[in-house]
Structure 1
Amino acid sequence: MSKYTTGELAKLCGVTVRTVQYYDTRGILIPSELSEGGRRLYSDDDLKCMKIICFLRELDLPINAISQILNEEHPEKVISLLIEHQEKSLSDEISDKQEKLEKLRELKNGLKSHESFSLESIGDIAVIMEGKKKLKRMRWMMILTGIPVTALQCFSIIFWIVKGIWWPFVLWVLVAIPWGIIVSRYYFRQVKYICPECHELFKPTLKEAFWANHTPTTRKLTCTACGHRGFCVEVWGGDGK
């Protein structure tokens, strides 16, 4: 079994010699034995215990609390819970940092698409980024709800051509029209548009938005704030207010 001096133990655990000596005087980590010359000698078990103490100190636990935990009948259970909690905390922190990194990269890429940018253009990009996931989720929901309607349309047309029976197509029309109205109203309640001229967020009327020329991310509208007519960027509009 290995034996470690105070200096060796301190080096292995990344602390100072004075720290190891302090834990000894507090009775938290007493050396397994003393050499003939009176030097403290620590075992492998002491090394493991020291690493646990260092971990608990990183969690900002006071010395008295650490001493009490180590004196418990089953200290490993408490330490195991602390480790699990710290693992989850670090995992959440990593996820948060990763999300921020993705936002920075999106902002960086967004700025590259602007030959000249201002505070207003940066603000526009930030608004787009903020609701990007929500918009994507809503569009996917619309696609999924539209699959049965599309399937019914295909079935009814084939049935009409092959069998000469037209009533399934009428049934599809009776389903498709209300579905289209409900989905369109819901969609346009959830989105807003950024005017490229005044950079204001605005909501067009349902009629204008529905019939406007559009791309997947823009729609040709008249800004209600400045009156400019052109392609405006579609963004998430929250609860539709």
Structure 2
Amino acid sequence: MNKTTGEVASLCNVTVRTVQYYDKKGVISPSNTSENNRRLYTEEDINQLRLVLTLKDMNFSLKEIKELLNSNHSINTLNILLSEKLLDLENGIQQQTEQVEQIKFIRENISKESEYPVSNVLNLKNKSKKHQEMKTFRRNFMGISLIVGAFQYSSIITSIMKKKWQPIITAYPFIFIYAAIATKKYYSVVSYLCPNCQQEFKPLFSEWFKSNHTYQTRKLECPHCGVESYCIETHV
């Protein structure tokens, strides 16, 4: 049974203007007309429109859809085109993810009290990648530290169970040596970004070692602007 433009729009959950637009562009046109020149769609036309809408949802352009519908391309051709679309979308998602990370990074490095010019954002533009490198280093560092921590606690438990100090006495020199090497290594790869003036700096070891800190920040005085704040870690 033939359907009018309005009925087709209702069946396909789109607006009348959408159906008319596809008709105007020659993507999908009605097969019949009534005696008073009303445009009528057959069941096959409606299924074609549903196909158009499905392809549109998968990010196909109208030009690509029109070429697919008006050619003898097989389902295998569509599969190849879908693979290309998938790759484009994945690349787009990756790019957007990187943009989101950069925006977050810049926001984290701008203090609400900062009165420095917007041009200071240029100081942060290329440091987002270094911040990600620091995240990777920190994750690997924590993994090794957990292993050493497990070794430390196992020596304590063994000493308690055996009622002997020997396991602790044997283990702790290695633990102290690791702690010293790990601290030196961490300090050597880390620098900090001031959220007030957006400048990068490396504090003195004594200041760095005794300062309060969170997982990704340290409370330090910036040598550029003199403001003390929680500065975000970044890779040197």
Q: TM-score, normalised by structure 2?
A: 0.61
* Matched residue, 1:185: 184
Cα distance change on mapping 1:47 and 1:189 into 2, 3 Å: farther
Q: Deviations over 1:147-205 (max 9, x none)?
A: 22222222323433453433322332243234224432332233212357865312245
* Matched residue, 1:20: 23
Task: Write the letter of the residue equivalent to 2:60.
Answer: L
* Matched residue, 1:46: 45
Alpha-carbon distance in structure 2 between the residues aligned to 1:21 and 1:147: 66
Alpha-carbon distance in structure 2 between the residues aligned to 1:34 and 1:86: 36
The offset of 1:14, in angstroms, is 0.4
Please give the secondary structure, in 1, of the residue aligned with 2:212.
coil
Q: Deviations over 1:93-130 (max 9, x none)?
A: 5776677568767866876x634532379749957x93
Residue 141, structure 1, aligned to residue 140, structure 2: yes
Residue 233, structure 1, aligned to residue 236, structure 2: no
Residue 170, structure 1, aligned to residue 174, structure 2: no
Alpha-carbon distance in structure 2 between the residues aligned to 1:6 and 1:162: 82
Task: Write the letter of the residue equivalent to 1:71.
Answer: S
| Matched residues, number | 226
Cα distance change on mapping 1:179 and 1:114 into 2, 3 Å: same
Aligned identity (percent) is 20
Q: Flag structure 2 segments of 5+ consecutive residues without an equivalent.
A: none
* Matched residue, 1:215: 213
Task: Write the letter of the residue equivalent to 1:59.
Answer: F
Alpha-carbon distance in structure 1 between the residues aligned to 2:17 and 2:63: 18
Cα distance change on mapping 1:124 and 1:149 into 2, 3 Å: farther
* Matched residue, 2:150: 151
Alpha-carbon distance in structure 2 between the residues aligned to 1:62 and 1:121: 42
CA RMSD of aligned residues (A): 4.9
Residue 71, structure 1, aligned to residue 71, structure 2: yes
Q: TM-score, normalised by structure 1?
A: 0.61
Alpha-carbon distance in structure 2 between the residues aligned to 1:236 and 1:98: 19
Task: Write the letter of the residue equivalent to 2:23.
Answer: V
The offset of 1:44, in angstroms, is 2.4
Alpha-carbon distance in structure 1 between the residues aligned to 2:195 and 2:177: 34
Task: Write the letter of the residue equivalent to 1:179.
Answer: Y
Task: Write the letter of the residue equivalent to 2:218.
Answer: T
Higher relative contact order (CA 8 A, sep 6+): 2
Alpha-carbon distance in structure 2 between the residues aligned to 1:4 and 1:227: 71
Q: Flag structure 1 segments of 5+ consecutive residues without an equivalent.
A: none
Cα distance change on mapping 1:117 and 1:102 into 2, 3 Å: farther
